[in-house]
Amino acid sequence: MKLWQKDNTTLVEVEKFTVGNDRDLDKSLAVFDIWGSLAHVKMLESVGLLTKNEWHLLEDGLKEIGKQIEKGDFALDDGVEDIHSQVELMLTQKLGDVGKKIHSARSRNDQVLVDLKLYLRAEIEKTVGHTKELFDLLMLQSEKYKADLLPGYTHLQLAMPSSFGLWFGAYAESLVDDLITLEAAYQVVNKNPLGSAAGYGSSFPINRQMTTDLLGFDNMNYNVVYAQMSRGKTERIVASALANIAATLSKFSMDCCLYLNQNFAFISFPDELTTGSSIMPHKKNPDVFELIRSHGNRLQALPNEIMMMTINLPSGYHRDLQLIKEHIMPAFKNLNDCLYMTGLMLANIEIKKDLLKDEKYKFIFSVEVVNKLVSAGMPFRDAYKKVAEDIKAGNFSHSDSLHHTHAGSMGNLCNQEIKLHMNDIIQKFNFSKVKNALQQLLS
């Protein structure tokens, strides 16, 4: 069934090519199509395009289909092009002409747009939850290991003392900034395009504010032309935010791959979390982190992929936009799997104690010695020169006793402040507003 079908028949090769993977992807949009349709029919009744009885019939029919979707008993019939067509077909089979009225004052263009907005909104909420879980674990490990020293590197050369507390905390704060960008993307997503129809509005007296409120959107895409222009742009903005989280995971994974290496030997994991070699019995390979790194790098390419699919499109709808679903929808599962696996590894990490007592790390304390001389009154350049000469002459001596107190340093991690910042960002999403609106819509 094709909502746009006239009397001519589409060549089978054309149909197969243009439908592509939409039927499979639309299964993930099914529940959101029901939500959007529930809001739409309620609005149609309010403006006189449906009678109260017709609205109740359609509402009951949509909720029944929604229950089938929840149970997993829902599938697209052979020959049905997409989720929108399937829902209308099922309603028409059950209700006759009343079922056909559901499409009044909308187009498949704004229908798929609202489905995608609702889908993206729900997936962002899941991703925020998983990111917060990893953040909490990083904070826990930061506090647990804040007194355990770790070599710090610049240019991959020994630099200054660091700590495991600093290392874990750094990635926690990175996730805070990542969620700032995701919250900005959420603001773009959380606007209602329904009522823009094919991109030029409708002559029907529809109430777009009503569907905006019913679906829990913060606002609407007011200009109907821009509502269609937002497709592709919205996904690219979301992809950029996902890419930021992926970049944090990739960098952490690279650190872990290095630190697990025997030449570093800063961390270790239980055997069951690493893999072996087919010929080398001693191997403990960080395959999980290597794959997270690769998945993360691929996710960082996603915004560019979407940009290249949309970069030369004029305003209005174009079928090119359909392909974006094949890229953005799997990205959420991919990223959330990486978040979960990073958490699994982090929860079981083992660190090496007293690392900096090893003689090979002694020069890492050179800045500490310089600073002590400066604190005693020596000009910094003179202190720097003296310590450099002592190192060259083999006369360098140091203490591994550290006293760092400024904000964000080893002795003052500011983890509580970082936690408060994270909580402030999560509250800005205001997921409860969406939840309350949908509960009322579905009740």
**Residue 275 DSSP symbol:** B
Is residue 64 domain-resident?
A: yes
Query: Do 50 and 194 reside in the same domain of the chain?
Result: no
Is residue 2 domain-resident?
A: no
In the block, which residue shows the tokens 């243009």?
18
Closest CA to 442 of 99, 135, 36: 36
Q: For 173-217, give the DSSP string.
A: HHHHHHHHHHHHHHHHHSEE-TT-TTTT--SS---HHHHHHHTT-
Residue 18 CB neighbours (<10 A): 12
Number of structural domains in the chain: 3
Return contacts of 371-378, CB within 8 angstroms, 24+ apart. Answer: none
Q: What is the pLDDT along the chain (443 residues), one digit of tens a residue?
A: 455 455 556 677 887 777 667 677 888 999 999 999 999 999 999 999 999 999 999 999 999 999 999 998 888 888 787 888 899 999 999 999 999 999 999 999 999 999 999 999 999 999 999 999 999 999 999 999 999 999 999 999 999 999 999 999 999 999 999 999 999 999 999 999 999 999 999 999 999 999 999 999 999 999 999 999 999 999 999 999 999 999 999 999 999 999 999 999 999 999 999 887 678 877 788 999 999 999 999 999 999 999 999 998 999 889 899 899 999 999 999 999 999 999 999 999 999 999 999 999 999 999 999 999 999 999 999 999 999 999 999 999 998 889 899 999 999 999 999 999 999 999 999 999 999 999 999 99
The residue segments making up the domain with residue 313 are 108-357+415-442
Query: Do 195 and 310 reside in the same domain of the chain?
Result: yes
Name the token pair of 348: 């079981």
Is residue 7 domain-resident?
A: no
**Of 53, 78, 103, at which residue does a domain stop?**
103
Q: How far apart are CA 415 and CA 346, in angstroms?
A: 18
Name the token pair of 329: 């929808």
Q: What is the CATH number of the domain that holds 264?
A: 1.20.200.10
377 Rama class: left (phi>0) / alpha (psi -120 to 50) / beta: left
∠ CA 312-318-222, nearest 5°, is 95
Residue 110 CB neighbours (<10 A): 28
Query: Do 118 and 222 reside in the same domain of the chain?
Result: yes
Q: What are phi and psi of 10, to 5 degrees?
A: -75, 135
| Euclidean distance between the first and the last CA atom of the chain, given in angstroms as a whole number | 31
Query: Do 99 and 26 reside in the same domain of the chain?
Result: yes
Query: Do 93 and 163 reside in the same domain of the chain?
Result: no
Q: For 129-155, give the DSSP string.
A: HHHHHHHHHHHHHHHHTTTSEEEEEET
In the block, which residue shows the tokens 């009522």?
195
**Of 72, 87, 103, at which residue does a domain stop?**
103
In the block, which residue shows the tokens 């020293």?
149
Say if residues 3 and 84 touch (Cβ distance below 8 Å): yes
Name the token pair of 327: 């890229």
Query: Do 91 and 65 reside in the same domain of the chain?
Result: yes
